[in-house]
């Protein structure tokens, strides 16, 4: 235990927990939006069960990646023609799948939000609890893939990585309830949340294409810069806050 909790390991543990928290922001947004499809009285339970199962699977994924990481980077199949060229490995396929699914979720939720009849009937035909939990677990694993790879790069101490994953899961349970309640009380921010989720899908698609060394018409696809991504989100939030305050001022006139 003395060798485990050295200053260097404690610093690494802090960085791992911070990494789990930062990379889990978009995951929390998806979690809050997806859990709304469950019956109102079961939404909190659905989020907690989904996160707990995802944390257990994340630990399993950690051990799998440590043992098989070199195979995840090997090219599974490729193709090359005048339109597109790419070399797909397992990592790129997972990220591309996650991006496409999140993009589909965001677009379908935006369409659903604008359909008045669907809004009236959304609580009459709630989505299956098992289906919601399955979606949450799958997307949690997709989001956690890069964070686990980053954790492996930071340290080779498995105990630290497991502690960070468990702590990250606990933080997600606490924050997910708060974010969901905030969105319930501030329904206008749902639009902002869905468009942020849309950007997350675009970011994952660009990252997956980059991992696959994909080119369109000879032009290599580059991943969206994370700093740019968070800056765009910050600007969107500021615009939404100002717009809401301005709308309140207009309503008072």
**How confident is the model over 37-63, as pLDDT tens digits?**
777 778 888 888 888 887 888 888 888
Closest CA to 98 of 133, 32, 143: 143
**Residues in contact with 164: Cβ distance below 8 Å, sequence separation at least 6, in sequence order:** 13, 16, 17, 19, 20, 151
Contact 169, 54 (CB under 8 A): yes
Distance CA 50, CA 78 (A): 35
Find residue 220's DSSP bridge partners: 215
Strands 219-220 and 84-89 come out as: unpaired
Please give the share of the chain, as a percent, with pLDDT higher than 70: 85
Flag whether pLDDT at 124 surpasses 60. Answer: no
Q: Express the helix, strand and coil content of the chain in percent, nearest 5 each.
A: 75, 5, 15
pLDDT at 2: 47
Distances (CA, A) of 18 to 12, 116, 221: 10, 41, 29
Which positions ≥6 away from 180 have C-beta within 8 Å? 32, 35, 36, 43, 44, 47
Beta partners for residue 189, in sequence order: none
Residue spans per domain, the chain: 7-74+85-252
- Order of strands, sheet of 84-89, starting from the edge strand that comes earlier in the sequence: 75-80, 84-89, 215-216, 219-220
Say how far apart CA 55 and CA 216 lie, in whole Å. 37
> Cβ contacts of residue 27 below 8 Å, gap of 6+?
139, 140, 143, 144, 172
CA distance 154 to 144: 15
Cα(224)–Cα(221) distance, rounded to whole angstroms?
9
pLDDT interval class at 1 (50, 70, 90): very low
Confidence label for 188 from pLDDT (cuts 50, 70 and 90): low
- Given a contact cutoff of 8 angstroms between Cβ atoms, the answer to whether 62 and 162 are in contact is yes
pLDDT in tens, 61-82: 888 777 776 677 778 888 888 7
> Of 135, 133, 134, 110, which Cα lies nearest the Cα of 198?
110
Does 13 or 205 have the greater pLDDT score? 205
Question: Taking all residues of the chain, what is their mean pLDDT, rounded to a whole number?
Answer: 77
| Cα torsion 120, 124, 130, 131: sign | negative
Burial label for 16, CB within 10 Å (0-12, 13-18, 19+), is buried
pTM: 0.67
pLDDT band at 98 (very low <50, low <70, confident <90, very high): confident
The two structure tokens encoding residue 60? 């399993």
């Amino acid at each position: 235990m003395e060798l485990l909790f050295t200053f260097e390991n404690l610093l690494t543990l802090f960085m791992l927990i911070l990494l789990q928290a930062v990379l889990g922001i978009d995951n929390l947004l998806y979690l809050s939006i997806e859990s709304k499809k469950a019956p109102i009285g079961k939404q909190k339970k659905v989020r907690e069960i989904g996160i707990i199962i995802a944390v257990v699977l994340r630990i399993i994924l950690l051990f799998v990646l440590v043992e098989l990481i070199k195979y995840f980077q090997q090219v599974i199949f490729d193709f090359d023609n005048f339109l597109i060229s790419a070399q797909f490995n397992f990592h790129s396929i997972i990220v591309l799948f996650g991006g496409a699914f999140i993009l589909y979720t965001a677009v379908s939720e935006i369409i659903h939000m604008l359909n008045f009849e669907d809004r009236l009937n959304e609580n009459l035909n709630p989505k299956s609890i098992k289906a919601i939990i399955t979606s949450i677990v799958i997307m949690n694993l997709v989001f956690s893939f890069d964070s686990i790879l980053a954790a492996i790069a930071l340290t080779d101490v498995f105990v630290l990585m497991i502690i960070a994953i468990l702590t990250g899961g606990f933080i997600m349970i606490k924050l997910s309830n708060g974010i969901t309640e905030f969105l319930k009380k501030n329904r206008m921010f749902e639009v902002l949340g869905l468009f942020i989720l849309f950007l997350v899908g675009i970011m994952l698609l660009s990252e997956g294409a980059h991992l696959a060394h994909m080119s369109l018409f000879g032009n290599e696809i580059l991943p969206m810069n994370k700093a740019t991504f968070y800056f765009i989100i910050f600007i969107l939030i500021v615009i939404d806050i100002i717009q809401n305050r301005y709308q309140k001022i207009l309503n008072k006139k």
